[in-house]
Chain A
Amino acid sequence: MYRYVINRLLFLIPSVLGVIFILFLVMSMTPGDPARILLGDAASQAQVDELNRQLGYDLPFMEKYVRYVYKMVVEQDFGVSYFTKQSVFEEIWPRYKVTVSLAFIGIVLSSLIGIPFGIYTAVRQYSLWDTIPSLIAFFIAAIPSFVLGMLLLYAFSLQLNWLPSYGIESFSSFIMPALAVSIPPAAFNLRFTKSSMLESIRQDYVRTARAKGASEHTVIWKHALHNALLPVVTNVGMSLGNLICGAVVAEKLFSIPGIGSLIVDRITYKDEPVIIAGTILISVCFTVVMLLVDLIYAYIDPRIRAKYARVKG
């Protein structure tokens, strides 16, 4: 069990190395070079070359890669942003915290709204309590996230004047981005939980439990729910990627100093140190969440728990 967790955490090492490799590869294909962007159009090619040399941008691909990894591992140095000259770590860490808290709230809220409603709509299928939430979720699942964000902005900020339109410094300014990030995955969770629950309710063993005379309450909450939750948990974990996407949109729309929009902005500047360090942080977070999901999965599913026990034994 513990060995499994440690193995998974150890996998972070090749994973991060791989991520850096992929990013350097993609960045090497993008047009433009940072020195030209920094120095502007009036600079001569010699000056541009010189600055690229100073930045370490002109190194051959593999050398750049090895150097980067060396600096990161041995000196814990993520470098300096080409664009702002700020230390990359100092620049991205506060932004990382903002995005992670946004994504975390997104996961929690979307699960807290989506899963119970999903269960409830499945249990009360065809009632009004099923139709209305299901319909709402159904429409939300078909709306582009930035349109939803704009609707929130126009409703809560422009029309009602309840919430600030930008930033994330105060509690009230946190509400709208949190909603924008959580609503689409909540709708998705609802739909997913509902179908998973319906599937589970109709399984043989649930029928058997019913036939054996177990109370409806026991049947639903003990037998059906337990099985329905397995795929739901996986789904919640998998939705982190979508949440990051939602966070980028929310960050752009509400001018939130997050890491997603930072990376997106700096891609056009070819600010490699920021792009790579930022993506590493996100991918580590991603891997940890996936591990977490697996653990919760194991916690719920006795079969898998038994498997871990065997591994350990």
Chain B
Amino acid sequence: MKRKGLLAISLVLVACLLLAGCSSAPKSSAPAAPAEKVLKLRLPSSLSSLNPQNTTATRDVKVWTQIYEGLYGIDESKNGYYMELAKDVKLSADKKEYTITLRDGVKFHNGEPLKASDVVFTYNRAKKDPRFGYLTAKINNVSAVNDSTVKITLSEAYAPIVHTFSSLKIMNEKEVTSLGDKFGTVPSKAGTGPYFPTEYAVATGVKLQAFEQYWGGAPKIKKVEYRVISDDATVQVAFRNKELDYLEDASLSNWDTLKAEAGPENNVMIKGNNIHFMAVNYQSPTNNSILANDKVRQAIFYAVNKDDINKAMAGGMGMPAITYMPNEYVPTSPVTGFETYKFNQAKAKELLKEAGFPNGVEVGTIISYPSPTSFNGRIAQVIQSNLADVGIKANVQIAENAIITPKMYSQNYDIAVFSDSNNFDFNNIRQQVHSESKGMYLVKYKDGKFDWQRIEKLVEQGAAASENSERLKHYTELWKIIMDTATINPLIHRPVAIVWAKGLNIGKPVPTYYKVKEFSWQK
């Protein structure tokens, strides 16, 4: 009898566990008709939201780019910004007032026509959000002239505002307000882009469906699925197995294998629009403020071998960097007329000797994030090794963003390895060198020993000028000053490797913001 009681209880408990566990019964999906073939793309980590104002992280923006559009768009294959939802832009004589006429016949996914009020709504929403502060800081006022015209007033002449016009994605006011707090957490129809979301789960990804009334014509591929595949080794297997149709930022370590598997027509390696750089904190108190010594910092710069970094981190396929942004993507980025600290061990040793450290010196710790096997983590280890070659001793600390980046932003470090990407205007350098910048101001020039007033002046002049040639002139002088301080050393532009499935046509490949609407299945 006792046995039976025990048995009964055990069975009930087992049943509970089973119910909890197996209710996620595996379901099989029927094979899709060829026309309905789903394009499978990878998400390296969970998509945080469907609200395009949830973050400025590139990984998420890439997905949102398929759903939402800005007044301007970015086309990396055609060298920059183009008018997307804007049809016509008029700039006032004082270069402060933009009168923008909207494209005709644009519809949101919910069927509403695009109106000026939606633009005003979007911009005002972004202005309240600190994450978009660096984009909206110069905007004084946004108002609707009529249903198809918006007037945007700036506090000063500011050519890089185009970057803001492309970064802020227009959302439908009615849809967003009616969803309230739920907006972003569930599929919604608030965008004007070629696709709209049908299913969304943070854990697994998002499914998109072609928007047949898209103003640019219905996209050729009708169904798209973004799937979270976090592991870099697994994703290669998934591509080989045809469980994935397009893989960007593919592994550089196994590029030869991947390339062979994809086939000669289905792979490309392009120069990435990114920068990995090191910052030296000249104000660090370490070892009696050793890094305040100009010669020691210069010695560090000369000791770093960017080719070694390239080999260890990009299989030799990257592009050693001399400036912050690749000129291919940023026409206003300087190319010559400044010191580049070409690798020179003899000179590094000589400088150390002159500084009074013929037998080497300790310079503290090189910090980086997010993991030892990440690109930045690997670079930090190469630099440590390079420095050791000339007798400069440094430790390495690599940890999670949450631990490392606050140290960087509060100048609580000696040497930092950092990266930045997707800059389409050299004005973005202001985040690094201008004291108004709140994040990413790794090296604090303000009130320091360098000519920081001149630095900030040049940043402002560069932004105010409207001619590219004039801007380039300011930025070249700016970059010369920065490089002379030996505080920020651009190291490498990481290449972007892309492979895609046979039978898929991707148009002209781009490093970051690919557009699924350009893709098609071959007949």
A–B touching in complex (CB under 8 Å): yes
How does the 8 Å CB contact mask read for B13-32 relative to A, with 1 for contact and 0 for none? 11011101111101111000
Please report the C-alpha to C-alpha distance between residue A2 and residue B9 in the assembled complex, in whole angstroms: 9
Whether A97 sits at the interface, judged by CB under 8 Å, is: yes
Q: How far is the CB of B410 from chain A (nearest CB, A)?
A: 11
* Contact assessment for A268 and B400 in the assembled complex, using a CB-CB cutoff below 8 Å: yes
- Digit string of B56-75 for contact with A (CB within 8 Å is 1, else 0)? 10000000000000000000
B241 and A292: CB pair below 8 A? no
Per-residue A-contact encoding for B213-238, CB less than 8 Å = 1, 0 else:
00000000000000111110111011
Q: Does A21 contact B (CB under 8 A)?
A: no
Residue A125 lies at the interface, judged by CB distance under 8 Å to chain B: no
Q: Which residues of B contact A299 (CB under 8 A)?
A: 3, 6-7, 10
> What's the Cα separation between A105 and B231 when bound, in Å?
23
B402 at interface (Cβ–Cβ under 8 A)? yes
Q: Beta-carbon contacts of A261-277 to B below 8 Å, as 1s and 0s?
A: 11001001110000000
B203 & A171 in contact (Cβ 8 Å cutoff): no
Instruction: Give CA–CA (A153, B203) in the complex, Å.
Output: 21
Whether A5 contacts B240 in the complex (CB less than 8 A), given A42-B131, A84-B49, comes out as no
Given contacts A84-B185, A309-B2, A165 and B7 within 8 Å (CB-CB): no
- Residues B24 and A288 in contact, CB atoms below 8 Å apart: no
**Residue from A85, A103, A265, A285 within 8 A of B181 (CB atoms):** A85
Q: Are B5 and A104 in contact (CB under 8 A)?
A: no
Chain B residue at minimal CB-CB distance from A98? B24
Give chain B residues whose Cβ lies under 8 Å from the Cβ of A288.
13, 16-17
A252 — which chain B residues lie within 8 A by C-beta? 230-231
Of the candidates A38, A40, A170, A308, which one forms a contact with B28 in the assembled complex, judged by CB atoms under 8 Å apart? A170
User: B241 touching A164 by the CB < 8 A rule?
Assistant: yes
A207: chain B residues at CB < 8 Å are none
| A1–B6 CA distance with the chains assembled, in angstroms | 8
B372 an interface residue at 8 Å Cβ cutoff? no
Indicate if the CB atoms of B130 and A257 lie closer than 8 Å: no
> Which residues on the A side are within 8 Å of B204 (C-beta)?
167, 257
B357 / chain A contacts, CB cutoff of 8 Å: none
Q: Is B202 an interface residue (CB 8 A)?
A: yes
Q: Which residues of B contact A43 (CB under 8 A)?
A: 130-131, 133, 438-439
Q: Judging by beta carbons under 8 Å apart, are B402 and A32 in contact?
A: yes
Alpha-carbon separation in the docked complex, A101 to B20 (Å): 8
* CB nearest to A295 among chain B residues: B10
Residues of A within 8 A of B401 (CB): 37, 268
Contact B185 A86 (CB under 8 A): yes
Determine the residue in chain B with the shortest Cβ distance to A261: B230
B159 at the interface (CB under 8 A from A): no
Docked pose: A129 CA to B230 CA in angstroms:
41
| Residue-wise interface mask of B (192-216) relative to A, using a CB-CB cutoff of 8 A (1 in contact, 0 not) | 0000000001111000000000000
> Are B230 and A255 within 8 A (Cβ)?
yes
For B228, the chain A residues whose CB sits under 8 A away are 255, 257
Give the docked Cα–Cα distance between A108 and B5 (Å): 23
Cα(A189)–Cα(B97), bound, Å: 75
- Are the C-beta atoms of A101 and B24 separated by less than 8 Å? yes
The answer to whether A44 and B24 touch across the interface, beta carbons within 8 angstroms, is: no
**A47 CB-CB contact with B under 8 Å:** yes
| B24 & A41 in contact (Cβ 8 Å cutoff) | no
Count CB-based A-B contacts (< 8 Å). Answer: 175
Q: In whole angstroms, what is the CA distance A153 to B222 when docked?
A: 31
Given A40-B56, A255-B229, A255-B231, A157 contacting B130 (CB threshold 8 A): no
**Complex CA–CA separation, A38 to B45 (angstroms):** 16
| B80 within 8 A of partner (CB) | no
**Which chain A residues lie closer than 8 Å to B229 at the CB level?**
166, 255
Are the CB atoms of A165 and B203 closer together than 8 Å?
no
Chain A nearest CB, measured from B126 CB (Å): 13
For the complex formed, measure the closest distance between the CB of B385 and the CB atoms of chain A, giving whole angstroms. Answer: 27
The answer to whether A97 and B231 have CB atoms under 8 Å apart is no
How many residues from B make CB contacts under 8 Å with A?
Answer: 63
Interface string of A161-184 (1 = CB under 8 A from B): 100111111110110000000000
Give the distance in Å from the alpha carbon of A40 to the alpha carbon of B18 in the complex: 42
Choose among B181, B201, B243 the residue that contacts A257 (Cβ–Cβ < 8 A): B201
Interface SS of chain A: helix, strand, loop or mixed? Answer: helix
- Contacts A31-B406, A41-B405, A296-B10; is A166 near B234 (CB within 8 Å)? yes
Q: Nearest-CB distance from B20 to chain A (Å)? A: 5
- Tell me if A150 and B20 are in contact (CB < 8 A): no
Q: Is the CB of B5 within 8 A of A1?
A: yes
Closest to B441 in A: A41
CB distance from A153 to the nearest CB of B (A): 6
Partner of B26, one of A47, A171, A268, A289: A171
* In the bound complex, CA of A171 to CA of B26 (Å): 5
B 451-478 contacts with A by CB, 8 A: none
- A2's nearest neighbour on chain B, judged by CB, is B5
Residues of A within 8 A of B3 (CB): 299, 305
Q: When the two chains form the complex, which single residue of A83, A257, A289 contacts B203, counting CB atoms closer than 8 Å? A: A257
Q: Residues of B contacting A98 with CB < 8 Å?
A: 24
Q: Which of A36, A153, A166, A171 contacts B227 (CB 8 A)?
A: A166
* Chain B hits for A84, CB < 8 A: 46, 48-49, 185, 202
Find the B residue at minimum CB distance from A35. B130
B95-139, CB under 8 A of A: which get 1 and which 0? 000000000000000000000000000000000001101100000
Tell whether B360 is near chain A: CB-to-CB under 8 Å: no
Tell me, rounded to whole Å, the shortest Cβ–Cβ distance linking A46 to chain B: 9
Indicate if B409 sits at the interface (CB-CB under 8 A): yes
Chain A residue numbers with a CB within 8 Å of B438 are 41-44
Which of B21, B26, B238 is close to A169, meaning CB atoms less than 8 Å apart? Answer: B26
Q: Is A298 an interface residue (CB 8 A)?
A: yes
A30, A37, A100, A164: the one contacting B21 at CB < 8 Å is A100
Could you tell me the distance between the alpha carbons of A301 and B14 in the complex, rounded to whole angstroms? Answer: 20
| Chain A residue contacts of B391, Cβ below 8 A | none
Complex A-B: 23 CB contacts under 8 Å? A2-B5, A5-B9, A38-B55, A41-B439, A42-B131, A42-B437, A43-B438, A84-B185, A94-B24, A94-B203, A98-B24, A105-B21, A153-B234, A158-B237, A164-B243, A166-B227, A252-B230, A257-B203, A265-B46, A268-B400, A268-B401, A296-B10, A305-B2
- B: residues with CB less than 8 A from A are 2-3, 5-7, 9-10, 13-14, 16-18, 20-24, 26-29, 45-46, 48-49, 54-56, 130-131, 133-134, 181, 184-185, 201-204, 227-231, 233-235, 237-238, 240-241, 243, 400-403, 405-406, 409, 437-440
Task: Beyond the given A1-B5, A85-B185, A255-B230, please list 11 additional residue pairs across the A-B interface where CB-CB is below 8 A.
Answer: A2-B5, A5-B9, A42-B134, A104-B21, A104-B22, A153-B237, A171-B28, A262-B203, A268-B400, A288-B17, A299-B10
9 closest A-B pairs by CB: A41-B439, A257-B203, A32-B402, A101-B21, A43-B130, A165-B237, A47-B130, A100-B21, A165-B238
